[in-house]
A and B are shown apart, each in its own frame.
Chain A
Amino acid sequence: MKILKIDGLCKNYPSFRLQDVSFSIDSGTIMGFIGRNGAGKTTTLKAIMNMVHAEKGKIEFFGLDMKEHEHEIKQRVGYAGGIIDYYKKKKISKLLEITARFYDNWDADVCQRYMKLFSLDENKTPSQLSEGMKVKLSLVMALSHRAELLILDEPTSGLDPISRDELLEIFLYLKSKGVSILFSTHITSDLDKCADDISYIRGGRIIYTGSIAGFTGSETLEEVMLRQEKEAFREKLDI
């Protein structure tokens, strides 16, 4: 079953555009969303979550149209856009208390478990956390309402290697529980460890979407990506 289906997503900015972005995620799988800086990863994820107004395209979660079922869909999806970048001077406990009220399936025990796992102190404010810990707090918020699909924008950037590895372990654990994950990254080694599929975006266009094996062949993901980006760069130089 397709848990997320994006079809023909377009967004125009004066100096950049998303062009006909289409891909889908199966239930219980992990998809890595890769591309170099400025390729359109964050814009795509924000458009999927209706934070960026897409000019064209259809977004369906669980077979439901995002425009018509935004509230219901957000109940079942966890989104973390990197670090916590709001209410940095409020206590984490207050943020969690207020956020919890919005979710039908918010699980205070799960929340406390992740808080402990990530060594987060709820009496602190986000401004007192390091960048890596802010990412973890953002993940706690996304994981505590038993989401069926997690959409995470660069969740591993800013984390130390041990925390990154632990996070990938959590991804695999969640996958075993039937949770699907879409996460953007430019750290390709993260994907080697846990992703089933990838979608590769360059200059606002999807270059490839499908299994990792189908993309890499005998090379590593990093090698293929570097080679392709170099070729694209050389083409630009020729112009």
Chain B
Amino acid sequence: MKNLIYKELRLATPLLTFLFLAFSLMTFIPGYPILCGAFFMSFGIFQAYQLGREDNDILYSVLLPVSKRDVVKGKYLSAVILQLAGFALCALFTLIRMRFMADATVYENNFMMNANLIYLAFVLLIFAAFNHIFIGGFFKSAYAVGKPFVIFVVMNFLIIGIAETLHHLPGMGWMNAQDFSLRHIIIFIGAVLVYSTLTTFSCIISQNRFEKIDL
């Protein structure tokens, strides 16, 4: 598996995908739907799949001495590594924004979602949706990238819409607080569970699908 992940990151992942991790800096933008950063990071991973298709990456991977199931696992794990790197950056910038910049006027008067644990929870939900909808959809054919990505985009903006709406609802203002609370932590743990469960579940389904695909 170590070799497969090396192959994924060294051969199948373009520089652009790594550069798109810089969209985690959107965490700092006031008055803007900062969850779009998670979308752009997902878009970076999508680029790897699109280029991988042009490069016939799946054919190359299957010819290597690995099982077809491991090819799928390698794809999921490399996406998870990139997402966790993006998430770590988002978490770092969230911490900086919460700890050192919370008093800034632009953040105090921020009408949009603040960078807090709820924001990080939604970042994970967007990544979970990407893994389940896009990567899972890709492995229906191991070729088509357009349709699963469009479905993911719709779901992604639905998630962003929900996240940006919730804290405006009566009694839900706590969701946008710029400090930690137990409720924030519970929601964040829930998002971690959704991310890990959905990604694992999607990986198993994709492995079973890929076994039956003719290359």
Contact = CB atoms under 8 A, between A and B. Distances in A.
Shortest 8 CB-CB distances between A and B: which pairs?
A74-B65, A86-B56, A86-B60, A70-B67, A51-B215, A52-B214, A75-B65, A101-B3
B68 A101 contact: no
B102 to A, nearest CB: 46
B180 interface: no
Contacts of A94: 10-11
Given A53-B213, A98-B11, A87 B57 contact: yes
Interface in A66-112: 70-71, 74-75, 79, 81, 85-90, 94-95, 98-99, 101-103
* Chain A: interface size category: 20 to 34
Interface of A: 46, 49-53, 70-71, 74-75, 79, 81, 85-90, 94-95, 98-99, 101-103
Contacts of B215: 46, 51-52
A98 B65 contact: no
B58 to A, nearest CB: 9
Contacts of B214: 46, 51-53
A3 to B, nearest CB: 17
Interface string B64-104: 11111010000000000000000000000000000000000
Contact of A51 (B11, B62, B66, B67): B62
B82 to A, nearest CB: 18
B55 A89 contact: yes
A85 B59 contact: yes
A109 to B, nearest CB: 20
Which interface residue of A74, A79, A86 has the most chain B CB atoms within 10 A? A86
B165 to A, nearest CB: 45
Nearest to B57: A86
Contact of B211 (A53, A88, A95, A101): A53
Nearest to A75: B65
Nearest to A95: B11
* Chain B: interface size category: 20 to 34
B68 A50 contact: yes
A98 B6 contact: yes
Given A85-B56, A102-B64, 15 more contacts: A51-B214, A52-B214, A53-B211, A53-B213, A70-B66, A71-B65, A74-B64, A75-B65, A81-B63, A86-B56, A87-B55, A90-B11, A98-B6, A98-B10, A99-B64
Contact of A102 (B3, B212, B213): B3
Which interface residue of A52, A53, A89, A95 has the most chain B CB atoms within 10 A? A53
B66 A74 contact: yes
25 contacts: A50-B62, A51-B62, A53-B212, A70-B66, A70-B67, A70-B68, A71-B65, A71-B66, A71-B70, A74-B64, A75-B65, A79-B63, A81-B63, A85-B56, A85-B59, A86-B55, A86-B57, A86-B59, A87-B60, A88-B55, A94-B11, A98-B10, A102-B7, A102-B64, A102-B65
Contacts of B55: 86-90
Nearest to B12: A87
Contacts of B213: 53
